[in-house]
């Protein structure tokens, strides 16, 4: 492939290195430049018990409502336990995916303010109460989440080999659900930014607690911790915070071990 390019460069009287740069610019205008923003993502061998089902790279994606998601890589995890109900209305389970997307052009995706807020959180200069307050105002995740968070329990910050992140447990809703906080809708969220500030890391992982109802329609709630998902989220958060990290299934530490084994590099 090198000879034809060199020959064409000679015909238009342009040095090869400048001609190659011109080709890159033209390809970039055509939409190919975003490929270089896709990260190379690997997971090193670890003892977390969390396994990968699939991993794929993607360019910019357009979602309904005029929402654009930057180029990146999505890592899908294998579910540890099947969902107990497939009812789609208001039912937003953990996606079991980790998205690593480019944030090199935040203005293009209207992410500038969100990125600044997350960096404030991750810098460690804010107290837990200040972080919680920002999250309660529904600070948008990166890249995007089309639902509101009900609470922010087990909030914790961590340093990983690839960058910094915040983890918390929540449930997402789109309107009134009329049911209890339950395991099918409980989600462990990770939101981070890589050390080189080129990528945002966002994950939604399944997590359960044996003392919560199975799903919205669980009738066997005797002896369980039952909190109305519409009216008692403050009480639910306090209860979740009082539970040991290792009482959840899987234990929160297992996900931390998985994230510790993650490597993210610019190509």
User: What number of H helices and E strands is found in the chain?
Assistant: 6, 13
79-107 pLDDT, tens per residue? 999 998 766 566 789 999 999 999 999 88
Helix (H) or strand (E) segment spanning residue 98: strand 97-102
* Helices 16-29 + 2-11 axis angle, to 10: 100
DSSP conformation class of 233: H
User: Looking at the predicted structure, is the pLDDT value of residue 75 above 90?
Assistant: yes
CA-CA distance, 214 to 64, in Å (whole number)? 31
Both structure tokens of 118: 């997350």
Q: Beta-carbon neighbour count of residue 147 at 10 Å?
A: 14
**pLDDT the model gives residue 68:** 86
224-243 pLDDT, tens per residue? 999 999 999 999 999 999 99
- How confident is residue 210, by pLDDT bands cut at 50, 70 and 90? very high
CA-CA distance, 195 to 202, in Å (whole number)? 15
- How confident is residue 188, by pLDDT bands cut at 50, 70 and 90? very high
Q: Which residues contact 15 (CB under 8 A, 6 or more apart)?
A: 9
Give me the DSSP letters along 231-257.
T-HHHHHHHHHHS-GGGSBS-HHHHHH
CA-CA distance, 138 to 155, in Å (whole number)? 15
User: Looking at the predicted structure, is the pLDDT value of residue 49 above 70?
Assistant: yes
With tokens 């969220």, the residue in question is 189
Of 16-25, 116-125, 255-264, the one with minimum mean pLDDT is: 16-25
Helix (H) or strand (E) segment spanning residue 8: helix 2-11
Please give the average per-residue pLDDT across 134-150, as a whole number: 94
């Amino acid at each position: 492939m090198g000879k034809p390019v060199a020959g064409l460069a000679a015909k238009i009287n342009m040095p090869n290195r400048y001609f190659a740069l011109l080709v890159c610019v033209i390809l970039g205008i055509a939409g190919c430049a975003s490929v270089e923003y896709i990260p190379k993502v690997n997971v090193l061998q670890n003892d977390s018990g969390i396994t990968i089902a699939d991993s794929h790279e993607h360019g910019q994606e357009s979602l309904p409502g005029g929402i654009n998601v930057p180029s990146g890589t999505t890592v899908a995890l294998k579910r540890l336990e099947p969902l107990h109900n497939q009812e789609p209305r208001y039912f937003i389970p953990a996606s079991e995916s980790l998205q690593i997307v480019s944030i090199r052009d935040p203005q293009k995706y209207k992410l500038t303010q969100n990125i600044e807020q997350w960096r404030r959180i991750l810098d460690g200069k804010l107290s837990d109460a200040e972080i919680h307050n920002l999250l309660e105002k529904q600070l948008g995740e990166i890249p995007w989440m089309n639902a509101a968070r009900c609470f922010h329990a087990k909030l914790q910050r961590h340093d990983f080999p690839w960058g910094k992140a915040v983890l918390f447990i929540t449930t997402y809703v789109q309107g009134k659900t009329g049911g209890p906080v339950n395991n099918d809708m409980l989600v462990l969220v990770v939101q981070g930014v890589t050390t080189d500030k080129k990528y945002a890391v966002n994950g939604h992982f399944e997590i359960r607690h044996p003392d919560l109802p199975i799903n919205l329609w669980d009738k066997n709630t005797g002896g369980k911790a039952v909190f109305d998902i519409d009216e008692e989220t403050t009480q639910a958060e306090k209860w979740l915070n009082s539970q040991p990290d290792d009482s959840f299934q899987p234990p929160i530490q297992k996900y931390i071990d998985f994230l510790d084994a993650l490597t993210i590099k610019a190509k």
